[in-house]
Structure 1
Amino acid sequence: MKGCFYGLKGKHLSLVTIVLLCTTILIWGWKKTPILTNLVPPQTRLHLGPEITDDFVDNTVPLEQEIDVGKGVATFVQKDTVKEDLRLGAPPDSEQNSDKSEEISSDIASNQVEKNGILTSVSKEREKHKQVQEAEIDGKAVDVRQKEKAEENNADVQKQNGEIGTSLGSTYANTSVDKLTTHTQTPAPVCNYAKGKWVVDHKKPLYSGHGCKQWLSSMWSCRKTQRTDFAYEKVSWQPKDCQMEEFEGSKFLKRMQHKTLAFVGDSLGRQQFQSLMCMITGGKERHDVIDVGPEYGIVQARGDLRPGGWAYRFPSTNTTILYYWSSTLCDLEPIDPSNPATDYAMHLDRPPAFLRQYIHKLNVLVLNTGHHWNRGKLKANRWVMHLGGVPNTDRKIAVIWKAKNVTVHSIINWVNSQLPKYPGLKAFYRTISPRHFVGGEWNTGGSCDNTTPMSIGKEVLQDVSSDTDAAGAAKGTGVKLLDITALSQTAH
């Protein structure tokens, strides 16, 4: 019995010794090779692809280093997306699993791991958690730590991806905005018709002074005077660095369909009105054109040599062209209406009654004044300067050129105040046309008898109008400056 007892005891001790020895070998082998990770359920195991090196796992290189920035556009170098380099959740290759299950030897397994480039990273990771791995042999701790490591890696990668995506998006957006800004900051050059020169033009004139009798006053028809030179008919204005579209009456009427164009000013405005009527009709008789003066209060009063203006409508396009006489652009009213010889209040700061009453019917307005501002005209017409509704007592304003300046500023400011009320209205102020008399004025022995155009070869390049009063008044307003002063000066 005793021998049997010792025999059983010896067998038991041998079995325990064998178990301990196997356990020791198993633990030692686990430290040397990751083969035992095959014991972890595949659903919870962290799979490291062969393309992830130890440098990435332990010392993650900032992904910005793999971005090549060229000419403001960020691009990835030899990679389509970041996800292709970070396939942490990809399933393991079936051939690699079969190889690992067959190669049980730790040396062979080590070589295989080293071949895959992950031995160093796995060893370092296990050194950091040696105590946990030794205590929890059943793989639970390994499973937990590996899952935590995977989550940390995924979080870091997602954070880096987000930062890179934001950076790239910002770079791309900024680049796109820069390109758009560059494009929008280079608009097509605007033609400045005030700059240019007079050139010889052999094309047929738009109308003849002999033919446009319906619209052109005889005193302004050079063909009907004793003048023998007509070289001026072969000269036209060429703007600098741009082309001016050839005028065609039919195109003009089509553009001005259902619109009204009004010239308000002195005799130069009247000439512009008559010339435009001749250009539209080609100097030919037009019996279809309708006189619509009464619609705008333009009628010839009893005893007047001519009406206070004209208004004509082309029925084919419902286009109205009119002129209203207002030589100073001031509102004029009789001081004593019952007295035929009464003086007239010349309100420097009040627009003409015609504009106040009919501006809502206008689409294009062209204003001008200038040569009627002299003492002779004021005395002959019995005009008395008024300011603020009463006779002017300021001697400084009583000076003719200063009074004119007050009126020019006043009329432009008033029209500018009306523009928001009538969005379809375009307003222009035409600068003064200089006198061309030599040796004196028209009434002091001066002459204007040039027979050859002196403007050929002369070029206007100035950026600022010679009519400084008008330019200063229009600056900063919605009233555009129609600058003809310099080109008119060189026209003779």
Structure 2
Amino acid sequence: MKHHAVAELPSAGRTINALPKTSKFVLLIIFVTLIFFTVTPVLYPLLNYPIYLLQSSFTSKSSSSTYEIPQQQEKDIHASDQSENVCDIFSGEWVRNTDPPYYTNMTCSALIHDHQFCMKYGRPDTDFMKWKWKPYGCELPVFDPSQFLEIVKGKSLAFVADSLGRNQIQSLICLLSRVEYPIDVSYTPDDYFKRWKYKTYNFTIAYFWAPYLVKYKERDPSAQYTGLINLYLDEFNEKWTSQIDGFDYLIISSGHWFISRPAVFYENHQIVGCHDCQLQNVTDLTKFYAYRKALRTAFKAINNLENFKGITFLRSFSPSHFENGLWSNGGTCNRTKPFRSNETVLGGDNLETYMIQMEELRAAEKEGRKRGKKYRMLDITQAMLLRPDAHPSKYGYWASKKVMFNDCLHWCLPGPIDTWNEILLQVLKIEGTR
């Protein structure tokens, strides 16, 4: 096709077919080069995203929220690509699994928030626990708690996260409970800043509540979690940045709070805009403006820490599955089985958030490499996109409480969020072979 197209181009009043072979070859090279330098700048921001996003398309009716992504993987930050037998553990399907769950709400109840114990509050089906993540071309091994604890022996792991990060910690503690329960060694009684230690293995897990990653302040403390909030997008949140120097592993996760809550944005101590704030003379900016800036500031804080020698993992975005509305206006999640990968695509806010994560992580890794910092991605986005069946929904409370919302954001325990820690174990094993 390329040769045919070139032959139709006029040159000095005659076709290229009339030129000598050498001239035709030179013109072909020039033509291909021009195409390369024209197309590459357009596609460059989209290079190196995971293969499963190929299901989205530039030709979609909603072209602003879906993309076609080339198949090349980003090896620097997708740690699963580093093994000798390359297997992308982040892309696959959910398959039936007859094995019993790793734990139940009876065998693991300590430290777990009731809102994620779906069976306790009367969920009538158990089918959501009967699926296993199957990467394309390989198997994801079952979680081995003894192996995990041996790998992290003498080390420490910190989560800088929102409530979904806490959801993952709860899963991890339950997974490890078959070997040992940790003791609480927190410096404060505040449940938003916790530390647990596995004494036999001298392994510490810490949780730092940071839904916005950066410094923030409630404008109206009486409207906590719902009212307008000030986000200081260029200021470090020292509640966690001052605490992580000695940690071996750091897992960053955030995103949903930027999407769901109105906020005023500050930079250099000045208001630069807001999202859904309804304030006069304040520019309404996209919510993604704040998320990109916050991620950039968080990574800058890490790169500026001279004494932090650990590996930073960014846990990718975990899509919610509200249908017929959102959390606050009657949204539901009543599906009872996973999607197949050809039944849904990542789009809208979910895709935008995910792409920002990838772009900012790549930029942070490039800068951090100069300073001896290491960054990796824990990419759980496709796996969780396919699990609309495994949220607490209305089974996070007793029916008698008559709670007026469904939780289609967090995940039932046990459930597919346990896969996050199965993936974490494999990534840590890979890191140990470097």
Give the TM-score, by structure 1 length: 0.52
In structure 2, C-alpha distance between the alignment counterparts of 1:237 and 1:202, rounded to whole Å? 13
Task: Flag the structure with larger Rg.
Answer: 1
Runs of 5+ consecutive residues of structure 2 not aligned to the other structure? 1-81, 275-281, 366-373, 389-434
The separation in 1 between residues aligned to 2:85 and 2:379, in whole angstroms, is 18
Are 2:301 and 1:414 aligned? Answer: yes
Are 1:210 and 2:100 matched, yes or no? no
How far off its partner does 1:253 sit?
Answer: 1.1
2:244 matched to which residue of 1? Answer: 359
Residue 374 of structure 1 and its aligned partner are, at CA, apart by 4.3
Mapped pair 1:469 → 2:356: yes
Q: Which letter maps to 1:468?
A: M
**Aligned-partner Cα distance in 2 for 1:446–1:268:** 19
- Structure 1 residue aligned with 2:209, among 315, 319, 325? 325
2:195 corresponding residue in structure 1: 311
| Alpha-carbon contact 1:265-1:326 (below 8 Å) kept | yes
2:267 maps to 1:387: yes
Q: Quick check: 1:290 aligned with 2:186?
A: no
Give runs of aligned pairs for residues 259-298 of structure 1, distance below 5 A: 259-282=155-178, 286=181, 289-294=182-187, 298=188
Q: Say yes or no: does 1:442 pair with 2:327.
A: yes
Q: Post-superposition shift, 1:433?
A: 1.2
Secondary structure of 2:244 counterpart: helix
Aligned positions of 1:133-172 closer than 5 A: none
Q: CA deviation at 1:224?
A: 0.8
Q: Write the mapping of 1:65-464 to structure 2, written as runs, cut at 5 A.
A: 188-282=84-178, 286=181, 289-294=182-187, 298-300=188-190, 307-332=191-216, 345-374=230-259, 377-378=261-262, 384-393=264-273, 398-418=285-305, 421-423=307-309, 425-451=310-336, 453-455=337-339
Q: Is the CA contact (8 Å cut-off) linking 1:366 and 1:428 kept in structure 2?
A: yes
1:211 maps to a residue whose letter is: T
Point out where structure 1 has 5 or more consecutive residues left out of the alignment. Answer: 1-185, 301-306
Q: 1:481 aligns with which of 373, 377, 398?
A: 377
Q: 1:468 to 1:399 in 2, by over 3 A?
A: same
> 1:461/1:481 Cα in 2 relative to 1: closer, same or farther (>3 Å)?
farther
Rounded to whole Å, the distance in 2 between the matches of 1:244 and 1:440 is 35
TM-superposed deviation, 1:427 = 0.5
Residue by residue, what CA displacement relative to the aligned partner does 1:57-97 show, whole Å, maximum 9, x if unpaired?
xxxxxxxxxxxxxxxxxxxxxxxxxxxxxxxxxxxxxxxxx
Q: 1:225 to 1:456 in 2, by over 3 A?
A: farther
Residue 200 of structure 2 aligns with an amino acid whose one-letter code is S
Q: Are the structure 2 counterparts of residues 201 and 416 from structure 1 closer, same or farther at C-alpha, using a change threshold of 3 Å?
A: farther
Larger helix fraction of residues: 1
Q: Deviations over 1:409-444 (max 9, x none)?
A: 2212332444x6433x01011121112111111222
SS at match of 1:475: helix
Q: Which of 1 and 2 has higher RCO (CA within 8 Å, sep 6+)?
A: 2
SS at match of 2:258: coil
**Partner SS for 1:275:** helix
> What residue identity is the alignment partner of 1:386?
Y
Return the alpha-carbon distance in structure 1 between the equivalents of residues 83 and 151 of structure 2: 24
Residue of structure 2 in register with 1:90 after alignment:
none
RMSD across aligned positions (CA): 3.2
Letter in 1 for 2:338: M
Identity of aligned residues (%): 26
After TM superposition, give the deviation of residue 396 of structure 1 in Å: 6.2
Task: Report deviation, 1:315.
Answer: 0.3
8 Å CA contact 2:184–2:195 kept in 1: the answer is yes
